[in-house]
Every structure is written in structure tokens, then in C-alpha cells.
Amino acid sequence: MAEREIIKEYQNGDLVVVWKPKSCIHSGICVKTLPKVYNPNEKPWIKAENATTDELKAQIDLCPSGALSYYMKGEKQTASPAVPATRVEVASGGPLLVHGAIEITGTDGQVEMKKRTTAFCRCGASGNKPYCDGTHNKIDFSD
């Protein structure tokens, strides 16, 4: 039986921040960008009320793994908007980041659409291949 994914939601009024811990690669961009919102040493670790809706949207759009997304309260839940143009970035000591909408066909033939930034493993140690799961941090992967 497949393991059920944990999804947590945090609100700042009208905006709902969605966090999928299993997708998180612990890049730290959220903490560095909005430390008043994200503090991994506290519970809850996300305090969405500490930022404006625009600040949260801008930060969440930078999330390289897609572990963070958002939707407006009362609207149909959707992922954060896609990055307009597809581009590829190699993160030093980390994943291959593909920004934008892409279609991925798995080894089983299953097709998956990604509409935001997707982080692909470069270290070879991810437990969620082909995607990055942050293992590169634990094994001191470097370029």
C-alpha cells in the first residue's frame, strides 16, 4: 500500500501556504528569504501571518522543489503559478533545477506534468529519483 503524503497548510488571512514535507530538499531559500515566517526550530515552523500575501507569493515562487505552494482562501486549490519560460540551472553542490513547465515520462511510462521549478538529483543518492530529496547535503556532494 502506498504511503499517504503529508500536506500541511498555514494561513495569513486570505492566502493559504501549502507545505509538502516529503518534497522538500532543504535548500533553505525559504528561511533565508523570509526568516520572520520560516523557522525550522519552532512549532509550527511556518508563521504565514508574519508576512504580506505578496511577500509570501514572491518567496514561494522561489522554492526549488515545489514543496511550498499557495492558493487563495475560497478559491479552488491550485499550485503556484508556473515560471513563464523554461530554463535550467545547476545548483552548486546540489540539484539540477528546471524552472518552468515540463512533462516528465517515468521509466514506467507514466507521464507527470510539472508547472513550477523541479529539482533533479545530481548526486545519485536521492531516495526519490529522479528528483532531489536533499540527500546531497548529508553526503557532502560537491561539483
Give tens-digit pLDDT for 42-85: 999 999 999 999 999 999 988 888 889 999 887 765 544 444 56
Q: Terminal CA-to-CA distance of the chain, rounded, Å?
A: 37
Where in the chain are the domains?
A: 8-72, 87-138
**What whole-number distance in Å separates Cα of residue 30 and Cα of residue 60?**
7
Specify whether domain 8-72 bears CATH 3.30.70.20: yes
The rounded distance, in Å, linking the Cα atoms of 27 and 30 is: 8
The answer to whether the pTM exceeds 0.85 is no
- Measure Cα distances from 120 to 37, 65, 104, 124, 141 in Å: 27, 9, 11, 10, 14
Encode pLDDT of 77-105 as tens digits.
554 444 456 889 998 999 998 988 888 99
Identify the pLDDT of residue 2.
54
